[in-house]
Amino acid sequence: METTEYNPHELAATAANSVLSSLGFTYAIRTEESEDGINLFIDSKEAAYLIGDDGDRLDDLQYLINRLVQAQQANAPRVRVDCNLYRTKSEAKLLRRARARAERVLQTGTPLHMEKLNAYQRRLVHQELADIPGIATESEDTESRFKRITISKITEPCE
């Protein structure tokens, strides 16, 4: 059986071009490697239409592009879609809020909660706060797609 080499960056760009050109957007695309897969950056003067309210359309676009890529190559890496750096800025802001809450928890000892987050955002927060000594994070135990993270201070065990 012959194996065909594929370029995941090309698959991601082709999927994005297919969707965006069909919808009539003007845009430029670039991709780059990340530790989690591929980052696909879209630059467009019509970014507000691609991003939507709080990034909801961007999430939908990312889902669709990943489905198209996976249909071409089942083991293709995940594609993270960003438009005019909206997602990059949003994630940086989320992590700043999480670090600020962790610092407040360390000072007061009172646990604090993050707003409801999707699985990807929760993973980012857990990873970000994992290296802060004395801080523990835990996602609430619900069936909901969006869950809160509780940030608490680790108490030293009594000897």
Give the model confidence (pLDDT) of 87-116 as tens digits. Answer: 999 999 999 999 999 999 999 999 999 999
For the cut 50, the answer to whether the pLDDT of residue 1 exceeds it is no
Q: Is the pLDDT of residue 36 over 90?
A: no
Paired tokens of 15 = 């999927």
Q: What Rg value do the Cα atoms of the chain yield, rounded?
A: 19
Q: What is the pLDDT of residues 48-89, one digit of tens each?
A: 999 999 899 999 999 999 999 999 999 999 999 999 999 999
Find the length of the chain: 159
What sign results for the dihedral spanned by CA atoms 143, 144, 146, 152?
negative
Residue for token digits 């909660």? 113
Distance between CA atoms of residues 123 and 57, nearest Å:
21
Token pair listed for 84: 């005019």
Distance from C-alpha of 47 to C-alpha of 101, rounded to nearest angstrom: 31
- The structure's pTM equals 0.83
Amino acid symbol at 126: H
Give yes or no for a contact between 58 and 51, defined as CB atoms under 8 angstroms apart. Answer: yes
